[in-house]
Amino acid sequence: MSHSMNRNYSFNSGRLVIVSNRLPISLSQDENGEWNVKPSSGGLVTALTPVLHRSGGLWLGWPGAFEIDDLESLMQQGSESSGYTLKPVTLTEEDINLYYLGFSNEVIWPLFHDLQSRCNFEPRYWSRYQDVNTKFAEAILYTTDEDDYIWVQDYHLMLVAKALNSMGEDRHLGFFSHIPFPPPDIYAKMPWRLQILRAMLEYDLIGFQTMRDRNNFIHCIELLMDHISFDTRRQVSSVILSGHETKVGVFPISIDYRDFAHSAASDFVRDRSKELIEAVPDRKIVLGVDRLDYSKGIPERLRAYENLLERFENIRGKITLIQVVVPSRTEIPEYNTLKKGIEEQVSRINGRFAEAGWIPVNYMFRSLERRELLAYYRAADIALITSLKDGMNLVAKEYCAANTDSDGVLILSEFAGSAAQLHHNALMVNPYDIEGVANAIYRAYHFTKEERQLRMRRLRRTIARRDIYWWVDSFLQTAQSSPTSEVVTEG
């Protein structure tokens, strides 16, 4: 519910400043080499826009391209269409290779998703990660003053507060981690484990997606650091290091529920979803929608689906898996290997089980335009989410919000962050349990309409109550509250 859009954050008369790896725009060149700028859509941008607008705020980040002659006028255009100021942080190709593709996505991403065997602890990556975080800190230094509230987003920029403080400047600094935080036995494998923890504790407020992430973070500090004092009795904990207090809270991110539900109810989406249903008559549609990433558990899901068809002959021909894989990080060799493996699995399953007029798996490797995606959500009888580890997994929430008939089943990995909020009414699975996931699909297939609707209505209510505006609200309220005041953050 978007009531919280009306809240007026004063930030001691300063502005809200969002800092993220990428600016919320996309740049493209036409055939004449002219650059075009288009504002990005997405829940985070939508929710922050009103607050940025009101506080005359700014957004700092990399524009997404190298060596643009006319960067200033493009930023001007982007700022005008966004309704707040965009400030570019210019990065080189080598920066992106070492800091982004390297440290962020070959060290932090796998380690924080409990997949440490995939880490590449290359010292050059760490060195460049520090340099780029310093570049971001310098950009903040030159474009803000001490009344502004700086809200840094995600794992690419964990060192920004430390870099800024080492310049001798005082800023109000918050950090939100969109990805999980690993337990101590996994985190301890990070060669730069202490430097990262110390740097994070230079923020005034750190937000995590789930209580598990917050507890993992606190346990890592307890085990790896000395001279720390804690207060974990409250909803928002506090950690004191060298006289500096850091508040640590849980703020599960969400979607713009009303916008999703409203768009999904449009004539276009309704008609398109009917077409999708008619294309597979008398069959239930199981839907998987994931970015190409090994943390999403796509190979495990396909194995479970194959196991379902093996063990339950009576379901063959009555169910279709539509698996959408959205291209991502294709410049990293491991992601191409993953894609190849998925495609081999799909053709094996189809080769084994297909019959005239029935293909068990419909596979797409592409992005779906938003209205098309909503039509798939509406058409699907079952959404199948088998993340091996996920910060939140917004597909789970999007599927429910788009389910305007309240007639669908959510099968959800217990290792997705959204499980903390949705576990009561989703069918919970361990993605490593191939037969267990197959059994859950079989069970969902046989649910009565009453059971499907009861569960889905409850899921929709849970998501509507804690939407993306609630998320922005709860973080910024906590940022501005005194250390002792309570802000309820998870439930």
Quick: pLDDT tens for 143-187. 999 999 999 999 999 999 999 999 998 899 999 999 999 999 999
Q: Name the phi and psi angles at 449, rounded to 5.
A: -60, -40
Q: Name the phi and psi angles at 366, rounded to 5.
A: -175, 165
SS3 139: helix
Supply the Cα-derived Rg of the chain in whole angstroms.
Answer: 23
pLDDT at 2: 43
pLDDT at 447: 97
Prediction pTM value: 0.93
Amino acid at residue number 367:
S
- Is 178 an active-site residue? yes
Find, among 192, 201, 224, 202, the residue nearest to 127 by Cα: 192
| DSSP, res 98 | I
C-beta separation of 238 from 229 below 8 A: no
C-beta separation of 428 from 412 below 8 A: yes
Q: Which CATH superfamily is domain 259-465 in?
A: Glycogen Phosphorylase B; (3.40.50.2000)
Same fold: 2-254+469-480 with 259-465: yes
Locate 221 and state its tokens.
């500090």
pLDDT at 8: 55
**Which residue's entry shows tokens 């499980």?**
419
Choosing from 114, 178, 219, 433, the catalytic residue is 178
Neighbours of 170 (CB within 10 A): 9
| DSSP, res 114 | T
pLDDT at 367: 93
Report d(CA 124, CA 128) in Å as an integer: 6
C-beta separation of 177 from 206 below 8 A: yes
Locate 270 and state its tokens.
């309704």
- Is 390 an active-site residue? yes
Residues in the chain with pLDDT values less than 70 = 1-13, 482-491
3.40.50.2000, 3.90.1200.10, 3.30.56.10, 3.40.1160.10: CATH of 2-254+469-480: 3.40.50.2000
Choosing from 213, 256, 293, 390, the catalytic residue is 390
Task: Enumerate the domain spans of the chain.
Answer: 2-254+469-480, 259-465
